[in-house]
Amino acid sequence: MTNEIQLPKYSESLKLIAKIACTIGCIAGPGMMMNGLMSFSFGLIPGVIAVLPGWFVILGSVASMALCHSFLATVQAQIETKNAMVKVKHALSKINPDA
């Protein structure tokens, strides 16, 4: 393949969807935690158990956004490496046409 390749068209929309999902998770998590705050009247352990799902929602949404962004960064790095190799191969073919 001698043509340079571009980043997929859907990559920016995928980043936007990940940011929206993270925002929703970061809004829903504290809401879940607020509902669990009343459980502290029964003791420390029931209160912590009631609050933990909110933390898991927040951490999960941030982690999923980070995974999505890191995957797209890996794809972009691979595309840039491929394009650089195409340029080097093209430059070398001008120097040595037999290759």
pLDDT at 87 over 70: yes
Domain that includes residue 33, residue range: 11-95
Assess if residue 27 is contained within a domain.
yes
Assess if residue 1 is contained within a domain.
no
**Signed CA dihedral, 63, 69, 75, 77: sign only:** negative
With beta carbons less than 8 A apart as the criterion, state whether 93 and 99 touch: yes
Mean of the pLDDT values across residues 85-91? 88
pLDDT at 58 over 80: yes
Q: Of 99 and 20, which is predicted with more confidence?
A: 20
In total, the chain counts a number of residues equal to 99
Global pTM?
0.76
Assess if residue 26 is contained within a domain.
yes
Assess if residue 6 is contained within a domain.
no
Assess if residue 60 is contained within a domain.
yes
Assess if residue 77 is contained within a domain.
yes
Domain count, the chain: 1
